């Protein structure tokens, strides 16, 4: 069956927005795009669905999220309270570890399902999920959401790390055997300070051999910088003793976290690095040379008082960059509309020079490329999967650039339709 989906604007993210544009879909794949009148003439027998006051965009890609953390929501909803209730990073991390240790699989499933529903509601069609819930693939498959799953590996204790590593590999092997075109798999070593250099080397080698992506949270806090310089600070004095790693403090590295990862060969796998708040120009040179990628979660960084990621310098280096929400333990929504608005404001305050189009690219085509899905999704062009959303153009005036209007005015409830590979996941009449 051939369908023509038309709208006031077709925002393909591969060309300027097309007024009265349309795309043609067959068997869940885009086969043609162009002016609505031209598509109707070219495919006279196709079913036609028109959205006269809406825009069609690629489905959004939340490239870094922790769906299983959805019930660990300590983020204050009240803005005044949020100013006084922000946690210290290591204390927050200890709370996350405690939550995962004490939360049943049933409760994790509930958190994941709620997170998936929230993603779909705001127009997300693909996630890069980093976590420990073993049923994540089934949860994604059940509703039809696309995803790249990164089983998390976290422990400095060598024997525990080995067990977690073997468990993670077993999960990866299971996922690789899972017959799903929508779900792919990577590995999620939590951070450079929660795994030994030997485990990190093995993970990097496995990633290169198996051709699967690695995702790691790196250089997020100043505590991490202290730890890698001289094995002091809150990670050494608070985190390690509280989780039973007090006897496993490494020697003084006298390095940055990125330098450490580069020198042990971890960056040879071109990993996806989340955070990169505290990085030097030399660190960014290492990231650029290794063809590693960066994911930026500005609301999470702000909540945890981590600092501001040097976005202008990252872009000057030409390092691939995507925007994501992180998990509900450090942000208040999983909406990329909210994330883009926050990022846009931060860009103005810090002179990053980001346009609304840049930000939309970071949650569509750039995010797809970073998750190794650039040939399948991220833009609305022939040959790609029909992953798209339809959004209301609330009070759009022609003198306001469309990209700016979309970012500033769109909320989750303005998303009328969410489609993955031709299958509707949300429809509001």
Residues 232, 219 contacting (CB under 8 angstroms): no
Per-residue tokens: 116: 């998936």
- What is the pLDDT at residue 157? 58
pLDDT tens digit string along 134-173? 889 999 999 999 999 999 887 655 566 667 667 777 777 7
Is the pLDDT at 309 greater than 80? The verdict is yes
What the block records as the tokens of 307 is 């600092």
- Name the more confident of 196 and 209: 209
Closest CA relative to residue 238, chosen from 384, 92, 424: 92
> Could you tell me the pLDDT band of residue 245, with boundaries at 50, 70 and 90?
low
What's the confidence (pLDDT) of residue 201?
92
CA–CA separation, 200 vs 231, rounded Å?
A: 18
């799953």: which residue's tokens?
A: 149
pLDDT of residue 160: 63
Cα–Cα–Cα angle for 137, 140, 146, rounded to 5 degrees: 105
- Write phi, then psi, for 197 (nearest 5 degrees): -65, -35
Residue 268 has pLDDT above 50, yes or no: yes
Smallest CA-to-CA distance from 276 within 127, 124, 64 is with: 64
Residue 126 main-chain phi, psi, to 5 deg: -150, 140
Q: Which residues are CB-contacts of 106 (< 8 A; sequence separation ≥ 6)?
A: none
Beta bridge partners, 5, equal 23, 49
Separation between Cα atoms, residue 316 and residue 384, nearest integer Å: 29
Task: State pLDDT tens for residues 6-28.
Answer: 999 999 999 999 999 999 999 99
> pTM of the full predicted structure?
0.94
Q: Is the model's pLDDT at 328 over the cut of 90?
A: yes
Q: What local confidence, expressed as pLDDT, does residue 123 receive?
A: 99
> For 65-89, what is each residue's pLDDT tens digit?
999 998 876 544 443 334 345 568 8
Q: Which domains does the chain have, with CATH numbers?
A: 2-59+378-427 (2.30.40.10), 60-370 (3.20.20.140)
Q: CB of 31 within 8 A of CB of 24? A: yes
Tens of pLDDT, residues 351-382:
999 999 999 999 999 999 999 999 999 999 99
The lowest-confidence range among 16-30, 164-178, 245-259, 384-398 is: 164-178
* 25-34, 162-171, 208-217, 293-302: range with lowest mean pLDDT: 162-171
Query: What average pLDDT score do residues 324-342 get?
Result: 96
What is the overall mean pLDDT for the chain? Answer: 91
Residue 236, strand partner residues: none
Q: What is the pLDDT of residues 34-55, one digit of tens each?
A: 999 999 999 999 999 999 999 9
Angle at 289 between CA 287 and CA 294, to 5 degrees: 30
Would you state the pLDDT for residue 74?
Answer: 54
Check pLDDT > 50 for residue 292. Answer: yes
Distance CA 10, CA 49 (A): 13
How high is the pLDDT of residue 405? 96
Flag whether pLDDT at 246 surpasses 80. Answer: no
CB 416 within 8 A of CB 384: no
**Which pLDDT score is estimated for 196?**
84
How much is the pLDDT for 84?
40
Instruction: Provide the 3-class DSSP secondary structure of residue 299.
Output: helix
The count of other CB atoms within 10 Å of the CB of residue 109 is 17
Buried b / exposed e across 115-128, counting CB within 10 Å, b at 16+?
A: bbebbbbbbbbbbb
Mark residue 163 as left, alpha or beta (left: phi above 0; alpha: psi -120 to 50; beta: remaining): alpha
As a whole number of angstroms, the distance between CA 284 and CA 97 comes to 29
Which residue in 90, 130, 154 sits closest to 305, CA to CA?
Answer: 90
pLDDT value for 27: 97
Helix (H) or strand (E) holding 162: helix 158-177
For residue 82, what are the CA distances in angstroms to 7, 158, 303?
Answer: 40, 38, 8
Output 162-170 pairs: Cβ under 8 A, ≥24 positions apart: 162/199, 165/199, 165/202, 165/203, 169/206
- Is the pLDDT score of 257 beyond 50? yes
List Cβ neighbours of 334 (8 Å cut-off, separation of 6 or more): 62, 65, 115, 118, 119, 122, 124, 325, 328
Amino acid 77: pLDDT: 46
pLDDT at 143: 97
Please provide the distance, in angstroms rounded to a whole number, between the alpha carbons at the two ends of the chain. 22
Question: Which residues make beta-bridge pairs with 391?
Answer: 55, 415
Give the least confident one: 38-52, 92-106, 315-329.
Answer: 92-106
Top pLDDT among 397 and 156 is at 397
């Amino acid at each position: 069956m051939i369908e023509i989906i038309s709208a006031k604007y077709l925002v393909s993210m591969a060309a300027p927005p097309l007024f009265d544009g349309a795309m043609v879909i067959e068997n869940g794949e885009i086969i043609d795009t162009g002016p609505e009148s031209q598509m109707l003439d070219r495919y006279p027998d196709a079913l036609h669905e028109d959205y006269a006051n809406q825009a069609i965009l690629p489905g959004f890609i939340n490239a870094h999220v922790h769906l299983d953390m959805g019930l660990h929501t300590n983020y204050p909803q009240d803005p005044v309270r949020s100013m006084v209730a922000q946690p210290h990073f290591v204390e927050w991390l200890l709370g996350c570890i405690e939550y995962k240790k004490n939360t049943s699989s049933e409760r994790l499933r509930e958190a994941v399902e709620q997170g998936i529903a929230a993603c779909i509601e705001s127009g997300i069609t693909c996630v890069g999920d980093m976590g420990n819930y073993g049923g994540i693939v089934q949860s994604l498959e059940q509703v039809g959401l696309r995803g790249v799953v990164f089983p998390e590996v976290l422990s400095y204790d060598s024997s525990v790390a080995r067990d977690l590593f073997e468990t993670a590999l077993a999960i990866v092997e299971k996922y690789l055997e899972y017959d799903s075109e929508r779900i792919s798999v990577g590995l999620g070593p939590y951070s450079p300070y929660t795994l030994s250099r030997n485990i990190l080397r093995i993970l990097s080698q496995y990633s290169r051999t198996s051709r699967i992506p690695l995702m790691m949270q790196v250089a997020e806090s100043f505590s991490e910088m202290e730890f890698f310089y001289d094995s002091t600070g809150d990670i050494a004095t608070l985190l390690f003793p509280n989780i039973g790693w007090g006897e496993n403090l490494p020697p003084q590295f006298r390095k940055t976290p990125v330098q450490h990862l580069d020198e042990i060969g971890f960056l040879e796998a071109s990993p996806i690095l989340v955070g990169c708040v505290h990085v030097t120009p030399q660190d960014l040179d290492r990231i650029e040379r290794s063809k590693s990628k960066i994911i930026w979660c500005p609301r999470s960084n702000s909540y945890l008082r981590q600092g501001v990621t040097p976005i202008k310098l990252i872009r000057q280096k030409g390092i691939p960059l995507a925007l994501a929400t992180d998990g509900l333990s450090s942000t208040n929504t999983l909406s990329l509309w909210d994330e883009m608005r926050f990022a846009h404001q931060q860009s103005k305050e810090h002179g990053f020079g980001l346009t609304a189009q840049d930000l939309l690219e970071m949650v569509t085509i750039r995010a797809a490329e970073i998750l190794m899905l650039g040939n399948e999704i991220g833009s609305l062009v022939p040959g790609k999967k029909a992953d798209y959303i339809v959004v209301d153009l609330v009070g759009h005036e022609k003198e306001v650039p469309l990209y700016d209007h979309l970012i500033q005015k769109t909320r989750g409830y303005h998303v009328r339709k969410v489609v993955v590979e031709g299958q509707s996941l949300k429809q509001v009449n």
